[in-house]
Amino acid sequence: MEVKVNDAVSGFLDKISALLFFKHESFYKEYWQKLNVKVEVEYFQVLEELKGIKKDYSDFLDFYFSSFRQYGDVVNGNIFCLATTFFRISDLYDKNFYDIIQMLRESPEEKIRINIAESLLYLEGQSNGGEEGYAETEEEFFLLLKKLAITSESKWNVFEVIKQPTAYIQSFCETLLKINEQLDKALSKLSSQQKKWIAQLNKMEKDLPIHIIETIKGKHYLDNCDVYIYPILNPYSAVITKSRNVIYLGLGYSADKFFMTQHDERIDKMSTFLKLLSDNSKFKILMLLRNKKLYANEIADILKLSNATISHHMRILALHGLVHTTRIQNRTYYYLDDQTIRLMLDDLYHSLMIND
């Protein structure tokens, strides 16, 4: 397996990401807050530098960068919009900003339609091909749009582009060129971090990107594939795409620390879970609560333990989310959290499963 790093594409992708960040500032701030991560002040300095673009190019941002889905439906912080459907990472990987602009301008209309269809199908969880069929006629595309879970405005905008893909691609590229200097100036706030991150990616051990891909996609996703890594603007993020026998892995600043921390937390949780199950009394309590609610005295009578001992066990099990309580007729009943236990068992299975 070959693992290599190339930052040529960052000059283009960082500008797309900066405009997405700017357009959806509130979403990203809330998303990072949920992840409980701290984002460096330089990222918000980029936003300040881009305010002039919002004033002069609001229609451009609304048309090309509006999210296909409501914020509540966005998965893993990955906002899909028209601007992100025009290209494939496999086509861009070793190209710079101006090469990519030229490539987009020269793209055949069928290629643009196929790229858009592939993105829409991926958004719906379909990644087994078939985009060529939808891209053949406007009628086929219209049928695809009808069944997609995206906003009505997005459906209309996509259909407009499908009718005249070359015109909309030309407009997109011309505007990017017009605001290119403003984007460069804004992104210069991150230049020192970007240089450090690229250097870090080049020194990164092979095991880490493989771990990230396995965590997100599973072990079999890596079968017979090389891994091509490129830096992306969004911190703590990983973007994975695949073309034939190559996996393209975009890694944001501090993604290595974030994924290793997540990995360590998972191990700690599984270890604690196993310790709880290895305690004879706690395991018996969980078995008793399989299909029914019981109060403390009932559990104590069945297991021949004191109420104080039962209370001690229940506090620990509740602390780790394995049991919950409910009040029924002035009594506190305990019951299993089936979902937590199922998730822990699934995580344990996948962590220990042998990859054939």
| Architecture of the domain defined by 279-352 | Orthogonal Bundle (1.10)
- Burial class of residue 172 (count of CB atoms within 10 Å of its CB; 0-12, 13-18, 19+): buried
CA 27, CA 5: separation in Å to the nearest integer? 30
CA 272, CA 281: separation in Å to the nearest integer? 16
Could you tell me if 244 and 285 are in contact, meaning their C-beta atoms sit under 8 angstroms apart? no
**C-alpha distances in Å from residue 19, one per residue of 179, 182, 194, 238:** 11, 11, 17, 18
pLDDT number for residue 96: 93
pLDDT number for residue 63: 95
Could you tell me if 14 and 251 are in contact, meaning their C-beta atoms sit under 8 angstroms apart? no
pLDDT number for residue 354: 42
pTM passes above 0.75: no
What's the number of CA atoms in the CB half-sphere (13 Å) around residue 40?
A: 16
pLDDT number for residue 310: 87
pLDDT number for residue 338: 82
Residue with tokens 């069945």: 302
Q: Where are the domains of the chain?
A: 279-352
Digitized pLDDT (tens) for each residue of the chain, 356 residues in all? 888 888 899 899 999 999 999 999 999 888 888 777 788 888 888 888 888 787 789 999 999 999 998 888 877 778 889 999 999 998 999 899 999 999 999 999 888 988 888 888 877 766 556 666 666 667 777 777 777 788 889 889 988 998 899 999 999 999 999 999 999 999 999 888 888 888 888 888 888 888 888 877 777 888 888 899 999 888 888 888 888 889 999 888 887 776 765 555 566 677 778 888 888 998 999 999 987 889 888 899 999 988 888 888 888 888 788 888 888 877 888 888 887 788 778 767 766 654 43
pLDDT number for residue 108: 92
